[in-house]
Amino acid sequence: MNELISINYDNEHPTVNGRDLHRKLKVATPYKDWFPRMCEYGFTEGKDFYSFLSKSSGGRPSLDHIITIPMAKELCMLQRSEMGKKFRQYFISIEEAWNSPDKIMERALTIAHKRAVEAERRIFALSAENEELAIALNTSLEYWTVMKYNSEMGKKWTMRQCQSIGRRMSAFCRTNGYEIKSCLTGDDRFSCVNSYPLTAWDSFMEVLF
């Protein structure tokens, strides 16, 4: 099939540029006057055509249109010219090819592929989100003693300060519903000490200082 005019297949249905069609049909009336006059035959924006401002090399952008193939066929018929008949037959062949079983199957496979890619992207995003939640959960379930917090955070608290903070931390956790765990130390001076969740430490430190 020889291409008489460029067809755009990027949309849901094939379309053609309004100004291109006007030029190919060799209409004498200027496009800015011709297209509004053609719309008086009952064409509806948003259904039969779409308006947009086209880029220009200088001056103000010009109003242009994207036209559906059914509208393009009718415009060709309205011209009552040999060129109009020629282009109308061309658009009929475009529609027939577009609605052929092979093309329908091709579009269905393309849509299925796009949906599969989108689904894979969503699964990947969900997996990443779940991983972040797992890391946050593991962090929230981690428990530190006063001595470990002192060491890990570089606080340089004295033993007396650690004992004072331990008492205040225990009271803070009981008041705010944080679980306190006891753990063996292996130190003869302390048979066991309390361990507090990191989330409690974060909140406690904001109150402490």
Ranges of each domain in the chain: 15-99, 104-140, 143-208
- pLDDT recorded at residue 57: 63
Mean pLDDT (whole number) for 182-208: 74
The structure's pTM equals 0.51
- What pLDDT, in 10s, does the model give residues 71-116? 999 999 999 999 999 999 999 999 988 888 887 787 777 777 788 7
Residue 66 makes CB contacts below 8 A (sequence gap 6+) with 8, 11, 15, 16, 17, 18, 49, 50, 52
Give CB contacts under 8 A, 24+ apart, made by 37-43: 38/75, 38/78, 41/74, 41/78, 43/71, 43/74
